[in-house]
Structures are given as structure tokens and as C-alpha cells.
Amino acid sequence: MTHALHLYQEESCLLEALVDYVAEGLRLDEGIVIIGSTDRWHVLLEQLHDSGVDARNHALRGQLRLFGQQIVLSTCLTDGMPVRHKFGQVLSAVLGLARMRYTRVRVVSELTDSLWRGGQRESACALERAWRPLLAVHDVRLLCVCPIDSLEGHFYDGTLQALCAAHTHVRPARDEAGFEGAVSEAVAEVLDAPLVEMLQSLSAAHRPSADMPPGQAMLFWLKDNMPRTAEKVLARARARWSEQ
């Protein structure tokens, strides 16, 4: 079971990641379920086509399916918070249908994306936790997306930590190597070499439960233990990132 979180800052970068993710699944003869918006669905189909994938044919055959995110949110949320048994019923039906036809299934969920954009951050974290019992029953690969720049300090108020903790894997950017480079250079500018080595050891020893790049784990450790230093590192990392 994989429950991954992909953070993105630009729509174009997200769509590139989704094209790669969906195209890989189609090549492996997996069923693909997109829980998302109609607008993004159409753009995704067009970009898959441009990359050489006959996505519309796969959709007609039922291998690639869209399930509207608003149906899930309107059915499963009460007072802005997910009701677990309703969420389980709706998504079990969606996943069960896909698994009837395909041994392996991968899912893209824009549910958290929608809630986060609407300012419902607590609801987004609760919804991600609501996936856990479902994924224990349905062996699928789940990719969730959310518009967060993890080099912005105000996201480290506990919400980003909680959101990441609900997943097995976290990817903070499309250009992961560039992200790692920006963080590493920033840390080297702010801290002396012996402190850099100590920070690397401490952040590695106290890594979050989710699998994530070392640079992201380092930022979490800094925010929890050296918040002023963290702000300096984040500012330098943002400057390096913007130069790329």
C-alpha cells in the first residue's frame, strides 16, 4: 500500500507529474481512477495525448476513469469535516469497481487539493487520515496532491506536519534534486560545517514517519528545534529555488 503526497507550486509542474504517473499505470495495464475536477481531467487527457498516450481510448475502455471530487465532498463532509463511514462507503464502491476489472489500481485524489484551496486545512488532514482503513482493505496506490510550497515558513504551524504524517511518502516538489540542492546550499550558508554535520545526523535520526527527501526532513527538524535558524534557512532556500 502506498499513500503518497505530492506538493506542488505551479499547475504545469503538477500536470507533468500526473502525466508521468498515469502513463506509467496505463503501460503496466493498471486501472486508473482520478478523483478530481472536470477541468483538470480534460487538460490531463490532452497532455497525455500530446505525450503519445491515447488517453481517450483508455477512458472509453474504462481503464482510465474520472470520479467527480465534488460528489465525494458533498456526500462525505458534514460541517466541513469528513464522516468516516460515509467516506468509506463511497470510496469503497469506487475502488471496488476498479479492482473488479484490474488486478492493480492506482488512484489520483484531488480532494485535499480542493479543501486546502478553500482554506479547510483541518478538514484536509482529517480526510487524509480517513483513507487509512480503506487502504487496509483495498490494495491500491494512492497519490494525493496539494498546492503547498514547503519553503514557506507559515505552513510549518503544525498543519503541514500533520498532513505529511497521514501519508507513507511525501514529495515536496517536481524537481526533487533542485529542491534538495536549494535546502543543502541554504543550510551550508547559515550554519558552520560542524553544525551542518550535526544537523544531518539529528534530522536523520529523528525522521518523520513518512518517507521524504532528506532536505524536507531537515526542515521539519529545524522548525521543531531551532525555529529561528529554520526561518533563515527557509529564506535562503527560497532565494536559491527562485533562481532555478
Tell me how crowded residue 59 is: count the other CB atoms within 10 A of its CB: 17
Beta 81-82 vs 77-78: how paired, if at all?
A: antiparallel
**Confidence at 217, pLDDT banded by 50, 70, 90:** very high
Q: Residue 140 and residue 68: Cα distance in Å, rounded?
A: 19
* pLDDT of 202 higher than 90: no
Q: Which residue is associated with the grid cell 487520515?
A: 129
* pLDDT of 236 higher than 90: yes
Q: Per residue in 25-50, is it b (16+ CB within 10 Å) or e — as a string?
A: bbeeebbbbbbbbeebbebbbebbee
What are 2-17's pLDDT values in tens digits? 999 999 999 999 999 9
The C-alpha angle 8, 12, 15, rounded to 5 degrees, equals: 80
Burial of 151 (0-12, 13-18, 19+ CB in 10 A): buried
Check residue 16 and give its pLDDT: 95
**Confidence at 182, pLDDT banded by 50, 70, 90:** very high
* pLDDT of 244 higher than 80: no
Check residue 194 and give its pLDDT: 80
- Rounded to 10 degrees, the C-alpha dihedral 194/228/202/188 comes to -40
Q: Which residue is associated with the grid cell 503526497?
A: 5
Q: Is-contact 178 10, C-beta < 8 A?
A: no
Q: Is-contact 182 151, C-beta < 8 A?
A: yes
Check residue 214 and give its pLDDT: 93
Check residue 80 and give its pLDDT: 87
Q: Which residue is associated with the grid cell 467516506?
A: 87
Mean pLDDT of 118-135: 94
Q: Residue 231 and residue 154: Cα distance in Å, rounded?
A: 10
* pLDDT of 133 higher than 90: yes
Q: Residue 159 and residue 17: Cα distance in Å, rounded?
A: 24
Q: Residue 200 and residue 205: Cα distance in Å, rounded?
A: 9
What are 75-95's pLDDT values in tens digits? 999 998 999 999 999 999 999
2-147 folds as Rossmann fold (3.40.50)
* pLDDT of 1 higher than 80: no
Residue ranges of domains in the chain: 2-147, 175-244
**Confidence at 114, pLDDT banded by 50, 70, 90:** very high
* pLDDT of 235 higher than 80: yes
Grid cell locating 7: 506538493
Check residue 24 and give its pLDDT: 97
What are 7-57's pLDDT values in tens digits? 999 999 999 999 999 999 999 999 999 999 999 999 999 999 999 999 999
